[in-house]
Structure 1
Amino acid sequence: MYVEAEVDNKPWYYDIKRFVQGREYPPQATKNEKRYIRRMAFQFFLSGKILYKRTHDATLLRCVDAEEANRLTQEMHAGLMGAHANGSFLARKIMRAGYYWLTMESDCIRHVQMCHKCQMYQNCKITPPQYLHTMASPWLFSAWGMDVIGAITSKASNGHEFILVAINYFTKWVEACSFKNVTQVAVTRFVKNNIICRYGIPEMIITDNASNLNNRMMDQLCQQFKI
């Protein structure tokens, strides 16, 4: 049971319904409780024996008890049309279907937290939080960041679908070249021709450790030029 059952076996809207129907207060109700019931009653509409909640756009939502609320929550969350949405979205989905109860959003959030599949397949942050470190570049063209963009659709007329990009951290200057395949040879040639020969030997080249950017040929190049 994700929605708590009523203690006195009466629905949560019982007192509101009695007031809307016959202007009757609960026995031994205090002055503050009567004022609260009157204020709440303006938001509800009685049609026959069914009580409806008025929304801000004049839509009528049928009030349901705890048993029906549990059934609706389960069906909307994991039923035939359920998508295991989060708690707030699940509450809005039930309201769009035309149903309402007083603790709807908190009950939906608790339902999602107790859903076994949601806890198993939710997006988990496995890496522990760490402080961010600023990438400093002490002088012009001393530090470069390099990465590959692609595959890009559709291909260029020459069949190229990858772009090798290098960005200088100090000036934000960009060097880029397109390739059909970003091989180890293409990367080392790009570093020599587009970075070293044009701007001098950098102090560091930062990559994401992809196999075509971090390999034996790149290690030899860095050792040769002491990068």
Structure 2
Amino acid sequence: MTAPAAGVRTLTAMLSPDLLVDADVPAPPVPARRRRLLALLAAALVGVGAGALTFGLERLEDAPAWFGFWHGLAPWGVVAAVVGAGLPGRCRAAAVAGALVQVGLVTGYYTLEMVSLGTVSTNLAVYMAVAVAAGPFYGASGALLGGPEGRARTVASGVLAAPWLADGCRDLLEDVSGTGSPSVLAVAVGVLVVGAVLPLALNRSLRAGFGGLGTAALVAALILALEELPLG
């Protein structure tokens, strides 16, 4: 490099150091703390968006009665589990993300309800508490599904299948004692089938699959029992 060229480069660096970029120097990495915060923010936004979408689906013109299924435990649990599956092996982070997704779902759904209908659910505090309690289990279970075959994966498959069994049983019982709508009955049966098949599909052996199914049945029974408590 000639002396004049070196002088120009030095002067440029002194006057505008931020604009002088050396192609050989890699860009500084994004701090881990910032990455974690962005990931958690993304999880919350996914929940808010899915909650708002659920509200919209239920209020489509001529929407059938069974569209109430979309804000049940099972579909919302899937959203949190999918986010958790994006963090394989990181159960703690996935649990936090799952809670944020669930809180976001409740927030998105009931914010739109308040804005569009002018009503506020009297059980909103209960729904938010359920979101905080259930979200970590959904998120962590999603993360565990990416791990090796074992007891943790078996239990995780049961946790994710349990809401399907609970939703299916509840809807089936309500339909039998209510109007007897064929569409609601068909959806209830379909949801039950999904809940029964899910542990078998998520595990690599029949033994683990049936273990997951047993876990799902126990957790589903617990969910249905808790729903009978006079909480709101």
Does TM-score exceed 0.5, indicating one fold?
Answer: no
TM-score, normalization: structure 1?
A: 0.21
Q: Which has the higher contact order (CA 8 A, sep 6+)?
A: 2
Structure richer in helix, relative to its length: 2
Question: Highest Rg: 1 or 2?
Answer: 1
